[in-house]
Structure 1
Amino acid sequence: MIISKQNKQFKLWKKLMTKKYRDLHDMFLVYGKHLVDKARDKGALIEVVTSNLEIEGTLVSTELMDELQQTETYIDLIGVCKKTNDKLESNNILVLDDVQDPDNVGALIRSAAAFGFKHIIMSHKTADLYNEKVIRASKGAIFDCYIERSQLLLRLTELKDQGYQIVGADAHETGEPQKNKKLALVLGNEGHGLSDSIKDICDEFVTIKTNEVESLNVSVAGGILMHEWRFMI
């Protein structure tokens, strides 16, 4: 059992709670049985850390496990994972333009996996994919999608050249996206929506008509649009 905070393994796990060291080591943490099992199934699991004597893995004291908690609910099972991101081709791509709330990003990834948008492109200012809140909100869907971080204007230009129509979600703009054509659906920031440069490159816009409220949360809107797109193609 590991009981010392000076233990090298423990010090690494502690560092993986920050983006700087996740990027440096290409590793991250997942919490709870569902996510650990998902990581194992996808070949991403390196090590299991636990304070539970009945669970197979590297045993640590409850005091050290307390130090590794990132939620209010105590979890006695943590997976140390390597970043894996198998490339895949998809006719439907979800693009996130500076979506900054980790819960929104995680929920969108979960919806994208459910509705066939398994290729996701994130701007550099979009929340960190390996943030614990993103992983938790995705319910493990980060392991089911190909997710890249890119300079969006350049990447969307490339997609246009590959025959994708670039469709922006906007509460004040509307259009008619072409059916039976490859799609890159772009969702904007929670506060100011799509950036001007991204709007300029969009071929069409879509909006969701609502009663009483001006707009929807980006994760709700994205889920609706991805679901509806399945019935347009």
Structure 2
Amino acid sequence: MTRPPRLIESLQNPQFKLWESLLESRGLKKQGKFLLAGLKTVPEALARWPERFSTLLVTDPAQAEGWRLPAELEIVQLAPALFRTLDASGTGFPLLVGAVPDTPLIDLSQPPQGLELICALGDPNNLGALLRSAAAFGARRVILLDGAAHPYHPKCLRAASNAQFELTLLRGGRWEDVNRAAGPLVALDAGGADMAAFRWPRDVRLVLGEEGQGVPAALPVQRLSIPTTGAVESLNATVAASVALFSHFTANR
């Protein structure tokens, strides 16, 4: 790093207050920006998707010495107390400020292209873990319903480990819109048919409801159950979805 960074020391600095707002979904939606943290995710994101980021936040300019940084990337030095406020995970590692990409509204009346997820998960940790599995098992698109967690929430970013940048994220509207969606549509249900015997089509939409509520009973979907020992009542929504993603992946390799 050769250029000197801009220094911010005041809690009242407007730029700092904007970044602080990105710790919550409301700020993410209003500002259209996000904060990325992580000892592995920050260097990987800079190397693979440098165009997505505008600013690198450090507490000491030496933290970025030797890094290959895009010429247009601004470097800002924050006072330690300010940095700790933004570093919600306590990494102590430089943070990136990026732009939240547009999330177009999908026309669900059109048939699926490969494996697609329709998702209403409201917990950002769960959504992040799901996105990581979706990227690992070849989901083409993730369709987020109204009420789903923000995919660039700090907790979601941490759990996803940069999976957001590998996936096409779309908006899907409300459950009423899913009622009119082109199929095939599949959902997970303890009372459904045994997934082990299901023949997965290549083009399919896997529908995931909100935690604790599941998919609406009236939704016209093929319901599948995951065979288990019965030692536990149910699986976590993200774990169950990951099993289904793996099942589709192995059936269509």
TM over 0.5: yes
TM-fit CA distance, 1:15: 1.7
Aligned equivalents of 1:138, 1:90: Cα separation in 2: 23
TM-fit CA distance, 1:145: 0.6
Equivalent residue in structure 1 for 2:203, among 159, 174, 182: 182
C-alpha distance after superposition, 1:70-126 (max 9, x if no partner): 12x3423111100125889841101213x2222111111000000011300122122
Letter of the structure 1 residue corresponding to residue 172 of structure 2: S
C-alpha distance after superposition, 1:15-62 (max 9, x if no partner): 222222211121111112433334432221111011133134211111
Aligned equivalents of 1:91, 1:10: Cα separation in 2: 42
Structure 2: segments with no counterpart, 5+ residues: 1-6, 65-74, 107-111
Letter of the structure 2 residue corresponding to residue 169 of structure 1: L
Aligned equivalents of 1:152, 1:183: Cα separation in 2: 19
Equivalent residue in structure 2 for 1:93, among 91, 105, 116: 116
The answer (yes or no) to whether the contact 1:29–1:79 under 8 Å persists in 2 is yes
Structure 1: segments with no counterpart, 5+ residues: none
TM-fit CA distance, 1:185: 0.6
Query: Residue in 2 aligned with 1:140?
Result: 162
Equivalent residue in structure 1 for 2:97, among 69, 76, 80: 80
SS at match of 2:245: helix
Query: Residue in 2 aligned with 1:65?
Result: 83
Aligned equivalents of 1:137, 1:119: Cα separation in 2: 18
TM-fit CA distance, 1:156: 3.3
The answer (yes or no) to whether the contact 1:108–1:223 under 8 Å persists in 2 is yes
Equivalent residue in structure 1 for 2:128, among 106, 115, 119: 106
Q: TM-score, normalised by structure 1?
A: 0.86
Aligned equivalents of 1:137, 1:207: Cα separation in 2: 26
Letter of the structure 2 residue corresponding to residue 220 of structure 1: V
Q: TM-score, normalised by structure 2?
A: 0.80
Letter of the structure 2 residue corresponding to residue 77 of structure 1: P
The answer (yes or no) to whether the contact 1:28–1:83 under 8 Å persists in 2 is yes
Letter of the structure 2 residue corresponding to residue 127 of structure 1: A
Query: Residue in 1 aligned with 2:250?
Result: 231
Identical residues among aligned pairs (%): 27
Aligned length: 225
Query: Residue in 2 aligned with 1:6?
Result: 12
The answer (yes or no) to whether the contact 1:14–1:68 under 8 Å persists in 2 is yes
Query: Residue in 1 aligned with 2:33?
Result: 27
TM-fit CA distance, 1:206: 1.2
